[in-house]
A and B are shown apart, each in its own frame.
Chain A
Amino acid sequence: GNSVTQMEGPVTLSEEAFLTINCTYTATGYPSLFWYVQYPGEGLQLLLKATKADDKGSNKGFEATYRKETTSFHLEKGSVQVSDSAVYFCALLISSGSARQLTFGSGTQLTVLP
């Protein structure tokens, strides 16, 4: 079956530190990969995506590269801000037959301290 494994949190960093949140996946077929972010008290928001191998998704200073050889989609940011404090979810989507639902990782809580 399809699954997503995320780096366990919580992660606490100082402002301007470098961030990596690891994500690996298992999938049959060729998934699209996503990072969603959930700020406190809000719903999930799409942060970035990649639909094929070697694609790089980027948004708001965050980046992730679709690595088929290592089945990974690690999230990185060079300099985090306090406003980046949120829960980050890695997810995959396989579009085959009638199956269309996103499969999510367990989420990683990030706290950035001033």
Chain B
Amino acid sequence: GAGVSQSPSNKVTEKGKDVELRCDPISGHTALYWYRQSLGQGLEFLIYFQGNSAPDKSGLPSDRFSAERTGGSVSTLTIQRTQQEDSAVYLCASSLAGGAVYGYTFGSGTRLTVV
């Protein structure tokens, strides 16, 4: 597609429920990233996928968070047993390999509210 597409744009969920957030990257971009933007916390790296390599999961805050990327394209970020502190905007980005020259292209994000 023309840009990075994320869905849903907004999600309200009850504490303890599981949620799935979807990211559709730009066609041909081999790298995909998830970030979390919390109020007053800036942008926090979560996970990075590059082609068929094992993902870099070093930013995931707990084992309740997981992500997968199927067929080198669409990615799903799953949060199990959501907590109120999970409330944030979850941003997905994609890039050509590395991203050093062209930077990343970000989606508009999914605003997650845990009540």
Interface residues in chain A, defined as those with a beta carbon under 8 Å from any beta carbon in chain B: 32, 34, 36, 42-46, 49, 51, 89, 93, 95, 98-107
Contacts and interface: CB of A to CB of B under 8 A. Distances in A.
21 contacts: A34-B103, A43-B4, A43-B106, A43-B108, A43-B109, A44-B43, A44-B93, A45-B106, A46-B102, A46-B105, A51-B101, A98-B53, A98-B56, A100-B50, A100-B56, A101-B48, A101-B59, A102-B43, A102-B45, A105-B42, A106-B42
Given A93-B99, A107-B42, A102 B91 contact: no
A38 to B, nearest CB: 9
Residue of A44, A105, A106 with highest tally of chain B CB at under 10 A = A44
Residue of A51, A95, A98, A100 with highest tally of chain B CB at under 10 A = A100
A106 B106 CA distance: 17
Contacts of B108: 42-43
B100 A44 contact: no
B67 interface: no
Contacts of A95: 98-100
Given A43-B91, A95-B100, A100 B31 contact: yes
B104 A46 contact: yes
Dominant secondary structure at the A interface: strand
A59 B54 CA distance: 36
Residue of B48, B106, B108 with highest tally of chain A CB at under 10 A = B106
B25 interface: no
A102 B46 CA distance: 11
B42 A104 contact: yes
Contacts of A42: 108
Of all A-B residue pairs in the complex, the 5 with the closest CB atoms, nearest first, are A104-B43, A106-B42, A43-B108, A44-B106, A46-B103
Contact of B107 (A43, A99, A102): A43
A44 B91 contact: yes
A105 B41 CA distance: 10
A100 B43 contact: no
A79 to B, nearest CB: 25
Given A43-B107, A43-B108, A107-B42, A100 B98 contact: yes
